[in-house]
Amino acid sequence: MHKEYSFQEIQDRWLPVWDQLKPFDSSKPSDERPTKYVLDMFPYPSGDLHMGHAEAYALGDVISRYWIQRGYNVMHPIGWDAFGLPAENAAIKRGLDPRAWTYENIAQQKASMRRYACSFDWDRVLQTCDPIYYRWNQWLFLEFYKRGLAYRKNSNVNWCPSCQTVLANEQVVGGLCERCDSSVTKKALTQWYFKVTEYADRLLDDLDTLEGKWPAKVLTMQRNWINRSQGANVDFVIEGRKDPITVFTTRPDTLFGATFMVVAVDSDLASELIVDASTEVRMSFVDYLESTKKANDIERLATDRPKTGLFIDRYAINPLNGDRIPVWVSDYVLADYGTGAIMAVPAHDQRDLDFALAMNLPVKSVIDSGEEDPAISGVATLGAGKAVNSGPLNGLAKEDAIAKAIEIVVEKNLGSAAKNYRLRDWLISRQRYWGTPIPIIHCEKCGEVPVPADQLPVELPDSAGLDLSPKGTSPLGAASDWVNVACPACSGPARRDSDTMDTFVDSSWYFLRFLSPNSTEFAFDPAEAKKWAPVDQYVGGVTHAILHLLYARFFTKVLHDMGMVDFQEPFTRLLNQGMVLMNGSAMSKSRGNLVRLSDQLDEHGVDAIRLTMAFAGPPEDDIDWADVSPAASSKFLARAWRIAQDVDSAVDVDVSSGDKSVRKATHQFLASFTESIENFKFNVGVAKAMELTNALRKAIDTGCGPKDPAVREGAEELAKALSLFAPYVAEDMWSMLGYEPCVANAQLREVQTDLLVEDTVIAIAQVDGKLRDKFEVSASITEDELREMALSSEAIKRAIGDKELANVIVRAPKLINIATK
RNA sequence: GCCCCGAUAGCCCAAUGGCAGAGGCAGACGACUUAAAAUCGUCACAGUAUGGGUUCGAGUCCCAUUCGGGGCACCA
């Protein structure tokens, strides 16, 4: 009696069974299996799951289930990145409680994930907005504070006028707010920072250890972001100023070519330098500074923008040749990079040359590169050449000249070798409600006082009665019951810090919290960390290539230095899945090309959607939903399912007596399937499963028939393999084959290599690289025999004709190529 | 402007330097059916973006060009 395939029926049958059996519990006490930690980037709970989640979790699940199938105890947890602006914006817009909104969405996503058959360990779950979680954000903040890695400073920070909050450098993309695309402006504020720059060298150098394990693209992006440059700090004496001005340069070998100095117009240094200037200069300066501040970063970053600047009537002395050079201010020098001041070497730096030509300043070439004089060509020469007009450096090549120049300034006590980074410290304060309160109390007498550890967590006050709308200061400041406290040090009146932490703090260490998600004793249990961490396989979108991954790496290194973990890198391997597009562009409601995941699941079933995600192409490529066919996936699954249904032999039948050619197909499949999955070629793995399905169909219908043990063997391996992609169908197949759940815990059969040995192969015979004949030969044929066979072939003789033989290449048993003269 | 990745059949994609096709979609035909759907089966279709080079042999390695995608771009 044959049943019809119904994905709905199958889903309904197995979901409750799995809920009961908990096949993915990674905390069984006497589990002897070796461990693997597979982690998907946790979602932000903004509504239900979408197609992007469906792809990411389908792929992460293939990996997780694969390792279980290979006999590992796999920890595959999930949680929610639950703090952040959308909850607050929803609250403002619709008058909801951010907390309630967040937990409702989490409940919905959780139910969807269960239905989607994600192999998550549902006993390891976390939500960053739970006090039990963010308490440890605060604890970590205080640990950082103790070590001088968390500090407060006043500076010009990125300000999003729409979100009404500050942004980290990393959250400003091309001058726009990453979140809302508003144009970002600058604002002077006192804010909290994490000292990432202290770890810059390690964050950069340790990327080498991830080579080949992380996508090259991500490594490049991280390197670009940190962007270390080596050079020297050099002091320039300023006329009429007590202290010299230090400049950073990567080209100290060009010091003799420095013909002027430029100070960032928006730096404190510039403001100080014009204090004693004439009224005229001061007025011009103020105008220039104002117009600079008004220009947003986009205008400022336009590379073809003409240079602007102002001579401020002051002079510096070139420390090597004693030249008196003018000091200018300009916006092409950045206030917060290096010292905010540069020595300008127009002959050998294009930016300086552009400035010099615009301002009619002298250009002095100090490298003989054989190219045209930059002053005439307008093109700065950067490359190789010997130093000229440079006193003691004359005749030296670049590297030697740099070394020598540093030696000289060190000798004269005018500078030293130095490094600089594009990476800035991480600004973590946010003027918003829905985040982790910063555990610091401000006391008039005692200043900054950390909240004592036994008073953690500092819980968020209820949002009821608070005005959450953005107004540039934290809504928490208005919660007077909450904000006014006694100083822990002197018991005098004091106020809590009312800012909350950037949510990237939450995600910088969540992968460790999964080790002991409910602990009230530790942020994470170090013994569990020894067992599981670091993460063996991390899966997520490339959108987090810089921000999240850099911060998580930073946290890991700090935790390492705190002695809490014994590794330096959090994620041993990283897989970036692509995006799901529709008709070539990202799905969005406004574009009208949104494909709803729930519709797809209703129409095709969970398995078909998951399989479609895996089969669409290499995981890192984008999937255009218009190019793939979930209906085809569904058709294939039904086909595979019918194979299991057709099998007509007992569970304990001796497979070794089965049909040889079918067994061979099965074991060839096993060999190629494992290889495909290990190399993340999931699409190829699925294709192999299709191939096996086709072979089994043929065997059942027109070959050895459904009773042959080899058909059972093939069907069993097919069910196990499919469980990575289509857990429901696979479980049903497994059941039809006479087994108890769960197929997920069944291990693939060992490949029986003796079945793979070919007795005969088809040998290719070429003449001058062109196929001329084929012979079926023994797999063990010798080179001589093959050569003999080819040379006596009529077709080969004809192809050679009367040409003379030049060379005969034999690759027994597969190929022979006869080259003629 | 600089750097990286890619380009294989109408489409999505495979192919340790060795017969260009594993798999799928769409297509044609056949079997089953009163018919259709479903199912099962058979078949066709490109010489690998372009131009050079290395090699006995190149989709694969090297160089250049075109197109597409991504990253960086006043960081001294």
A229 closest-nt by C1' vs CA: B75
* pTM, full prediction: 0.93
Alpha-carbon dihedral angle through residues A405, A411, A416, A417, given to the nearest 10 degrees: 50
Cα(A419)–Cα(A215) distance, integer angstroms: 27
- Structure confidence at residue A521 as a pLDDT band (50, 70, 90): very high
Asked whether residue A249's C-beta has any atom of DNA/RNA strand B within 7 A, the reply is: yes
Q: Which residue is nearest to nucleotide B56 (CA to C1')?
A: A819
Q: How far are the Cα atoms of A188, A197, A264, A524 from residue A268, in angstroms, in the given order?
A: 12, 21, 9, 44
Asked whether residue A820's C-beta has any atom of DNA/RNA strand B within 7 A, the reply is: no
Stated in angstroms, how far is A120 CA from B61 C1'? 44
The DSSP code for A508 is T
Is the per-residue pLDDT at A810 higher than 90?
no
Q: Tell me the per-residue pLDDT of A397-428, one tens digit each, with 9 for 90 and over.
A: 888 999 999 999 999 999 999 999 999 999 99
Token reading at A129: 């907005």
Mean pLDDT in residue range A483-508: 94
Q: What is the 3-state secondary structure (H, E, C) of A437-452?
A: ECCEEEECCCEEEECC
List protein-proximal bases of chain B (any atom < 7 A from a CB): 3-5, 11-15, 18-20, 22-26, 38-41, 56-58, 70-76
Q: In this predicted structure, what is the pLDDT of residue A695? A: 95
Stated in angstroms, how far is A334 CA from B74 C1'? 9
Q: Tell me the per-residue pLDDT of A176-215, one tens digit each, with 9 for 90 and over.
A: 777 777 777 778 889 999 999 999 999 999 999 998 899 9
Which of A62-66, A121-125, A151-155 is predicted with the least confidence, judged by mean pLDDT?
Answer: A151-155
Stated in angstroms, how far is A679 CA from B60 C1'? 18
C-beta within 7 A of nucleic chain B, residues 744-773 of A = 762, 764, 766, 768-769, 771
CA angle A810, A812, A814 (to 5 degrees): 100
Is the per-residue pLDDT at A725 higher than 80?
yes
3-state helix, strand, coil in chain A (%, to 5): 40, 20, 35
Asked whether residue A742's C-beta has any atom of DNA/RNA strand B within 7 A, the reply is: no
Asked whether residue A688's C-beta has any atom of DNA/RNA strand B within 7 A, the reply is: yes
C-beta within 7 A of nucleic chain B, residues 592-651 of A = 615-618, 621, 624, 627-629, 631-632, 635-636, 638-639, 642
Q: In this predicted structure, what is the pLDDT of residue A303? A: 60
* Contact present, A404 and A392 (Cβ < 8 Å): yes
Which of A163-172, A687-696, A721-730 is predicted with the least confidence, judged by mean pLDDT?
Answer: A163-172
Asked whether residue A231's C-beta has any atom of DNA/RNA strand B within 7 A, the reply is: yes
Asked whether residue A413's C-beta has any atom of DNA/RNA strand B within 7 A, the reply is: no
Token reading at A610: 């998951």
A655: left (phi over 0), alpha (psi -120 to 50) or beta: alpha
Is the per-residue pLDDT at A298 higher than 60?
no
A330 closest-nt by C1' vs CA: B74
Asked whether residue A380's C-beta has any atom of DNA/RNA strand B within 7 A, the reply is: no
Stated in angstroms, how far is A584 CA from B66 C1'? 22
Cα(A541)–Cα(A719) distance, integer angstroms: 30
Angle, helices A709-722/A727-736, rounded to nearest 10 degrees: 150
Cα(A690)–Cα(A667) distance, integer angstroms: 14
To the nearest whole number, what is the mean pLDDT of chain A?
91
Stated in angstroms, how far is A680 CA from B70 C1'? 21
Q: In this predicted structure, what is the pLDDT of residue A493? A: 94
A339 closest-nt by C1' vs CA: B76
A616 closest-nt by C1' vs CA: B12
Stated in angstroms, how far is A771 CA from B47 C1'? 14
Asked whether residue A684's C-beta has any atom of DNA/RNA strand B within 7 A, the reply is: yes
Stated in angstroms, how far is A702 CA from B42 C1'? 15
Q: Which residue is nearest to nucleotide B40 (CA to C1')?
A: A701
Asked whether residue A689's C-beta has any atom of DNA/RNA strand B within 7 A, the reply is: no
Stated in angstroms, how far is A224 CA from B4 C1'? 12
**Beta strand residue intervals within A504-610, DSSP E:** 535-541, 571-577, 580-582, 585-586
Q: In this predicted structure, what is the pLDDT of residue A669? A: 96
Cα(A50)–Cα(A47) distance, integer angstroms: 9
Q: How far is CA A19 from the centre of its chain?
A: 32
The DSSP code for A392 is G
Stated in angstroms, how far is A253 CA from B74 C1'? 21
Q: In this predicted structure, what is the pLDDT of residue A572? A: 96
* Contact present, A448 and A224 (Cβ < 8 Å): no
Q: Tell me the per-residue pLDDT of A329-358, one tens digit each, with 9 for 90 and over.
A: 999 998 889 999 999 999 999 999 999 999
Q: Tell me the per-residue pLDDT of A542-555, one tens digit each, with 9 for 90 and over.
A: 888 888 999 999 99
Q: In this predicted structure, what is the pLDDT of residue A576? A: 94
C-beta within 7 A of nucleic chain B, residues 795-814 of A = 807, 809, 811, 814
Q: In this predicted structure, what is the pLDDT of residue A790? A: 84
Query: Percent of chain A, pLDDT > 70?
Result: 98
Stated in angstroms, how far is A53 CA from B42 C1'? 41
A764 closest-nt by C1' vs CA: B19
Asked whether residue A65's C-beta has any atom of DNA/RNA strand B within 7 A, the reply is: no
Q: In this predicted structure, what is the pLDDT of residue A295? A: 67
- Structure confidence at residue A818 as a pLDDT band (50, 70, 90): confident
Q: In this predicted structure, what is the pLDDT of residue A299? A: 63
Q: Tell me the per-residue pLDDT of A600-658, one tens digit each, with 9 for 90 and over.
A: 999 999 999 999 999 999 999 999 999 999 999 999 999 999 999 999 999 999 999 99
Is the per-residue pLDDT at A1 higher than 60?
no
Stated in angstroms, how far is A712 CA from B32 C1'? 27
Cα(A113)–Cα(A102) distance, integer angstroms: 16
Asked whether residue A701's C-beta has any atom of DNA/RNA strand B within 7 A, the reply is: yes
Mean pLDDT in residue range A67-87: 94
Mean pLDDT in residue range A24-53: 93
- Structure confidence at residue A710 as a pLDDT band (50, 70, 90): very high
* Contact present, A79 and A41 (Cβ < 8 Å): no
Is the per-residue pLDDT at A105 higher than 90?
yes
Q: Which residue is nearest to nucleotide B6 (CA to C1')?
A: A621
A633 closest-nt by C1' vs CA: B24
Q: How far are the Cα atoms of A148, A254, A347, A391 from residue A369, in angstroms, in the given order?
A: 47, 13, 11, 17
Stated in angstroms, how far is A223 CA from B5 C1'? 17
Closest-CA residue to A452 (of A482, A491, A481, A488): A488
* Contact present, A524 and A532 (Cβ < 8 Å): no
Write the single-letter amino acid at A193.
Y
Asked whether residue A223's C-beta has any atom of DNA/RNA strand B within 7 A, the reply is: no
Q: In this predicted structure, what is the pLDDT of residue A283? A: 94
Cα(A524)–Cα(A518) distance, integer angstroms: 9
Which of A17-26, A323-332, A756-765 is predicted with the least confidence, judged by mean pLDDT?
Answer: A756-765
Token reading at A711: 């058909």
Asked whether residue A694's C-beta has any atom of DNA/RNA strand B within 7 A, the reply is: yes
Cα(A328)–Cα(A544) distance, integer angstroms: 40
- Structure confidence at residue A300 as a pLDDT band (50, 70, 90): low
Q: Which residue is nearest to nucleotide B58 (CA to C1')?
A: A769
Asked whether residue A300's C-beta has any atom of DNA/RNA strand B within 7 A, the reply is: yes
Q: Tell me the per-residue pLDDT of A230-277, one tens digit each, with 9 for 90 and over.
A: 999 999 999 999 999 999 999 999 999 999 999 999 899 999 999 988
Asked whether residue A334's C-beta has any atom of DNA/RNA strand B within 7 A, the reply is: yes
A421 closest-nt by C1' vs CA: B75
Q: In this predicted structure, what is the pLDDT of residue A382? A: 80
A420 closest-nt by C1' vs CA: B75
C-beta within 7 A of nucleic chain B, residues 260-279 of A = 264
A302 closest-nt by C1' vs CA: B74
Stated in angstroms, how far is A278 CA from B52 C1'? 67
Q: Tell me the per-residue pLDDT of A570-581, one tens digit each, with 9 for 90 and over.
A: 999 999 999 999
Q: In this predicted structure, what is the pLDDT of residue A770? A: 78
Stated in angstroms, how far is A316 CA from B60 C1'? 60
Q: In this predicted structure, what is the pLDDT of residue A600? A: 95
